[in-house]
Structure 1
């Protein structure tokens, strides 16, 4: 029989002033009753200290700010999901970005602040999905003249597609030496998967693009000026299958623990108490997945410049599936870009349209956030049904974009108009610093890690 863990089972009592006394009494009782089961422990605690409180959905939601018109620019079902998020008893405020669309529980493009709690499903299954830009010392003219061989190198230095990985030892990074891989049992079991997927991109909407960048205003941090025209490598991926398994484990754990202290909470909207052992363990695992995702991008970019002999003038990156522990609560961004005042961020468009380098304006109503992309108009299934191969081919020829591995559900037709998304947030959430047009697009086809 597995040993009882009072710290997990007593989650409902954490708000009580005498919690430390309750925990000590429970630990002593477990020591005296080694063969007792979960219900017997809870019965002892309830008889000694009273029944625990039961969490329920609030009758009304916490404040929500929506950037975009519901019904035309943002689907109604995304707003309904966000309203459910904000009825959780620990929700304090939230926002919907203009690229928002239906997700699992919390919508993509949603931002929510929870007090003293963290929700693995609100972070998402692709923990620390993120974007990285390296600005190269290569002029656009030189790039366009040498585009096919550069595209070939880019295909060689990462791995795309379902189950993409490398032989053991082909990619190395200090993140694999992190002590957490051995300290958390479920991470120990995932370490080999993480090693062989290190430096890979995966499938779905993950990509590696070579882009021509036009600066729309001065960017003083890295010394670029309005009118500058440069070339860059832009990548989008996350923590791969490893992050998916981490998310799956903690989403299930949050469900079990929430059901023990709450009633009527819909599936997917569960949480972990931030001060509990499971909550702290999830935070540690999530942050490791953040470092792992950053390592993946870094390896792709570093191997590309090593193979081509190019140099990097600037490197910019941001996460958009993550939780940030803030004094005002835990900020969950599920498909939303941090946009603190002056903070640089990346908002990718689609395989056939522009992406943007932006500067945050620190809008408090958006919880200092902005869109993370164009946002899907159609589900993957519906996008495949509506796919017009001829139209996509004509568009890509017209825009002079070399493309590889582009799935029907990942063409520009499956997404909102990025220019509309940018117009809604321009001067409100962000200001555009540079426009980036893809000229080489490499994708991995079928999604394989929950994106």
Structure 2
């Protein structure tokens, strides 16, 4: 009998296999059973990977629902199209679109804000980003005084980093907790702790609590804007890690930020379920703030509806990744109860819209006014004191910053011209405005970093 030669990892690499966890077990099995060449190859068949999935040679075509109206916008639109052209080479993608509020964020190939990317049988965590299910909710307060609603809401809501202290937390729904604990992506102490303490909080950045009156009825309405906070951010980090594992295995040419989790895997199904749980949590996060404000004023709501604008929507085997795009199509929202909401800036109305799906809008509308320049560029472009800029841009409005520090990068001038966005919505068939919530006032986080605890500590030293 021919003497068996012991094999090692280099033997498997020479046969075309990439080093994997199964190497150790396979080497031991081959050596212990003294498998000959043909027997060894037959045994190793089970470990063969599918061929690597290559990038599309040319970008998949996408709809451009945006036009530049000045030099600043020309650069912004060019940057948006540039990053979309790279993004649309991702192997899973079959369609895409950009909205009038589109602006690039991050490296080339990262989905822009105001972008929609349609993937087949794949979920891309990087295309919904850390702020999973960023969304808006409206409650109709009837003939309540707008000032009373804003004051009551200010005493209840919570902006800034972190969550609520234990004594100020809202009661957590036990059925939702059971769903969290049953999901492999969410069932850990960090996720559960964030879910509990961040309930009833709004974070920072462009998130807000807006009070105004309906142009059509005169009723007072409250609109909140926020995402899934630390709860969703934890899921995003885990999703990116799992997607990266798949990327290395099946499509190493794909950019890291465009890695995906195949839906037809155990991880894909579990991640999709986790996204739905985060969606439920985020809706509840809006509701507890709205309900507590109603309760404080001793009134009942007359109407309520909401929509996400930063999420993944499923239709058959297609996954619509909307990075800052409002779903118009009812099939994307299983709990649809009313029209959609598109906020512009604190001095402009929140638009209440409906609309039909077209070949170019893919069932989506803008999510707001968007930016043409970065926050840093905006700060540098302003002259005068912060207080002077604030007073000029918020005249006749009750605008508050929860941190008591004005954030000029959230003032109206930081955003695209609202009239332009509305005109392009009409031009490209991106929803019909059926009502407007005329601004009375709003609350935002403000410059939460200016007097942050870690900065105060550093100054004391």
User: Which band: TM-score by shorter chain?
Assistant: 0.7 to 0.9
Tell me the residue number matched to 1:122: 127
The correspondence for 1:393, drawn from 391, 394, 398, is 391
Tell me the residue number matched to 2:265: 276
Tell me the residue number matched to 1:99: 101
Tell me the residue number matched to 2:9: none
Structure 1, residues 292-336: CA drift from partner, whole Å, max 9, x if none?
Answer: 110100001000000011221110100011111112511111100
Cα distance change of structure 1 residues 392 and 263 upon mapping to structure 2, 3 Å threshold: same
Tell me the residue number matched to 1:219: none
Are 2:185 and 2:271, in contact at CA under 8 Å, matched by a contact in 1? Answer: no
Tell me the residue number matched to 2:156: 157
Cα distance change of structure 1 residues 169 and 44 upon mapping to structure 2, 3 Å threshold: farther
1:297-316 matches, cutoff 5 A = 297-316=286-305
Structure 1, residues 45-87: CA drift from partner, whole Å, max 9, x if none?
Answer: 8645755211121111112001112573653222222222211
1:4-403 matches, cutoff 5 A = 47=45, 50=48, 52-69=50-67, 72=73, 74-104=76-106, 105-138=110-143, 142-143=145-146, 147=147, 149-167=148-166, 170-174=169-173, 176-184=176-184, 186-189=186-189, 190-215=191-216, 228-327=217-316, 329-340=318-329, 344-388=339-383, 389=386, 390-397=388-395, 399-403=396-400
Give the distance between the partners of 1:45 and 1:429, measured in 2 at CA.
57
Q: Cα distance, 1:360 vs. partner?
A: 1.5
SS at match of 1:179: helix
Are 1:64 and 1:93, in contact at CA under 8 Å, matched by a contact in 2? Answer: yes
Q: Which has the larger radius of gyration?
A: 2
Are 2:346 and 2:441, in contact at CA under 8 Å, matched by a contact in 1? Answer: no
Are 1:208 and 1:234, in contact at CA under 8 Å, matched by a contact in 2? Answer: yes
Count, aligned residues = 395
Cα distance change of structure 1 residues 51 and 402 upon mapping to structure 2, 3 Å threshold: closer
Are 2:65 and 2:98, in contact at CA under 8 Å, matched by a contact in 1? Answer: yes
Unaligned runs of 5+ in 1: 1-25, 34-42, 216-227
Q: Cα distance, 1:134 vs. partner?
A: 0.5
Q: Which runs of 4+ in 1 moved over 6 A?
A: 43-46
SS at match of 2:138: strand
Cα distance change of structure 1 residues 210 and 288 upon mapping to structure 2, 3 Å threshold: same
Give the distance between the partners of 1:440 and 1:185, measured in 2 at CA.
39
Structure 1, residues 191-226: CA drift from partner, whole Å, max 9, x if none?
Answer: 0121011111111111111112213xxxxxxxxxxx
Give the distance between the partners of 1:419 and 1:253, measured in 2 at CA.
42
Are 2:393 and 2:411, in contact at CA under 8 Å, matched by a contact in 1? Answer: no
Q: Cα distance, 1:154 vs. partner?
A: 1.0
Cα distance change of structure 1 residues 49 and 209 upon mapping to structure 2, 3 Å threshold: closer
Q: Cα distance, 1:271 vs. partner?
A: 0.7
Structure 1, residues 105-130: CA drift from partner, whole Å, max 9, x if none?
Answer: 11111111101111001111100010
Cα distance change of structure 1 residues 48 and 284 upon mapping to structure 2, 3 Å threshold: closer
Give the distance between the partners of 2:140 and 2:300, measured in 1 at CA.
9
> Relative CO higher for 1 or 2, CA cutoff 8 Å, sep ≥ 6?
1
Give the distance between the partners of 1:447 and 1:126, measured in 2 at CA.
18
Cα distance change of structure 1 residues 185 and 377 upon mapping to structure 2, 3 Å threshold: closer
Are 2:172 and 2:196, in contact at CA under 8 Å, matched by a contact in 1? Answer: no
Are 2:170 and 2:199, in contact at CA under 8 Å, matched by a contact in 1? Answer: yes
Cα distance change of structure 1 residues 50 and 240 upon mapping to structure 2, 3 Å threshold: closer
Q: Cα distance, 1:373 vs. partner?
A: 0.5
Unaligned runs of 5+ in 2: 1-21, 30-40, 331-335, 450-461
Tell me the residue number matched to 2:435: 434
Q: Cα distance, 1:447 vs. partner?
A: 7.5
SS at match of 1:312: coil
Are 1:162 and 1:446, in contact at CA under 8 Å, matched by a contact in 2? Answer: no
Give the distance between the partners of 1:50 and 1:178, measured in 2 at CA.
39
Give the root-mean-square deviation of aligned CA atoms.
2.7
Cα distance change of structure 1 residues 263 and 296 upon mapping to structure 2, 3 Å threshold: same
Tell me the residue number matched to 1:40: none
Are 1:204 and 1:447, in contact at CA under 8 Å, matched by a contact in 2? Answer: no
Are 1:166 and 1:198, in contact at CA under 8 Å, matched by a contact in 2? Answer: no
Deviates more, 1:343-352 or 1:165-174: 165-174
Give the distance between the partners of 1:44 and 1:281, measured in 2 at CA.
33
